[in-house]
C-alpha cells in the first residue's frame, strides 16, 4: 500500500512525467507523438511511460505498429484516480504546459508517420513541412 502510493506519487512527481500526464488528458498518444512534443530521445520517453505504467497511472495498448498510451482507469493502483484527478485540475495556467498543448495540437495535425520521422529535436519543422502525403493509417491511433 505504502509502496503503491509511493510509486504513484513519485511517478507523478517528476516534471517530465506530469507533462506527459497532461498531454494524455484529452487523448491517448503513441511514444513518438509524446517525443515530438517534449523533444526527448525515444528511449527517454519510453522509460517515463514505463514508469507511469508501472505506477498504474497509464495503460498501453498495441495498435497496429504503434503503441497507444492513455490515462489509466485506476484498476491497478487505488491511488491512481486521486492523483490523476489532482493533476487534471492542476497546471491549467502553467506556461510550459500551455506550450506543450500548443505543440501537441500541431503534432495532432500531422500524419503519424511523419511525426515519428521527426526525431527527438523536431528537426523537420514546427509546423508540418512535407505537406501533402497522408499516412496509410489515421492521423492518430484511435480505437
Partner DNA sequence: TCTACACTTCGCCATATGACGAACTGGAGG
Partner DNA sequence: CCTCCAGTTCGTCATATGGCGAAGTGTAGA
Binding footprint of a second copy on the chain (CB under 8 A): 1-3, 5-6, 9-10, 12-15, 18-19, 78-79, 82-83, 86-87, 89-91, 93-94, 96-97
Instruction: State yes or no: residue 113 binds DNA (CB under 7 A).
Output: yes
Q: Give me the residue label for grid cell 497546471.
A: 91
Instruction: State yes or no: residue 23 binds DNA (CB under 7 A).
Output: no
How many residues make up the chain in this entry?
143
- 23 backbone dihedrals φ, ψ, rounded to 5°: -65, -35
Nearer Cβ to a second copy (67/97): 97
Closest CA to 27 of 37, 12, 40: 37
Q: Give me the 32-71 binding string for DNA, x by CB under 7 A, dash otherwise.
A: x--x----xxxxxxxxxxxx--------x-x-xxxx----
Contact 23, 61 (CB under 8 A): no
Give the number of other CB atoms < 10 A from CB of residue 82.
13
Where does this chain bind DNA (CB under 7 A)? 10, 14, 16-17, 30-32, 35, 40-51, 60, 62, 64-67, 113, 116-117, 120, 136
Amino acid at each position: 500500500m505504502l509502496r503503491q502510493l509511493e510509486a504513484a506519487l513519485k511517478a507523478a512527481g517528476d516534471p517530465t512525467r506530469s507533462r506527459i500526464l497532461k498531454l494524455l488528458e484529452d487523448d491517448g498518444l503513441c511514444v513518438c507523438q509524446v517525443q515530438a512534443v517534449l523533444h526527448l530521445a525515444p528511449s527517454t520517453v519510453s522509460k517515463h511511460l514505463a514508469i507511469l505504467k508501472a505506477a498504474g497511472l497509464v495503460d498501453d495498448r498495441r495498435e497496429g505498429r504503434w503503441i497507444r498510451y492513455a490515462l489509466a482507469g485506476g484498476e491497478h493502483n487505488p491511488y491512481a484516480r486521486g492523483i490523476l484527478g489532482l493533476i487534471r485540475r492542476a497546471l491549467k495556467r502553467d506556461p510550459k504546459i500551455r506550450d506543450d498543448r500548443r505543440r501537441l495540437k500541431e503534432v495532432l495535425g500531422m500524419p503519424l508517420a511523419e511525426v515519428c520521422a521527426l526525431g527527438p529535436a523536431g528537426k523537420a519543422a514546427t509546423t508540418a513541412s512535407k505537406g501533402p502525403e497522408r499516412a496509410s493509417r489515421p492521423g492518430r491511433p484511435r480505437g
